[in-house]
Amino acid sequence: MDKLIPFLQQNIWLVLLTAFSGIMLLLPALRGKISGVGSAGTTEAVQLINHQNALVLDVREPNEFAAGHIANAKHIPLAQLSGNLKTLDKYKDKAIVVNCRSGARSSMACGVLRKHGFTQVYNLKGGIQAWEQAGLPTVK
């Protein structure tokens, strides 16, 4: 303990950098917990789709969607989501799995849905890329 204080004093920038790095690593997980948006890996997403009849909402651009998407997915590009929320009203209290290419756009879409009262919103971890890497089917 006698050597810890001098070490911390001599290496304050290293300690601060380590603390900042840790916070930055934890921030995405905490943001999801705070906002009420869940995340689902491919296994959880399949279970939500099969057992809870979850809606799959694909928020990619039309050309990305046409290249391959999850079967029965509803397609609303992220830029058009706010203007199309009425078409999703019947899903306000039902599970919705939102996907994009990698998970970034779908995370934003999940935030929009939660803000407008959708209660069971899940971001597909890794997006369609993770879905395809897991060997799960897509349709064109």
Catalytic residues: 100
Q: How far apart are CA 124 and CA 140, in angstroms?
A: 19
Q: Rg for the chain (alpha carbons), in Å? A: 19
Q: How far apart are CA 97 and CA 77, in angstroms?
A: 14
Q: DSSP 3-state assignment of 54?
A: coil
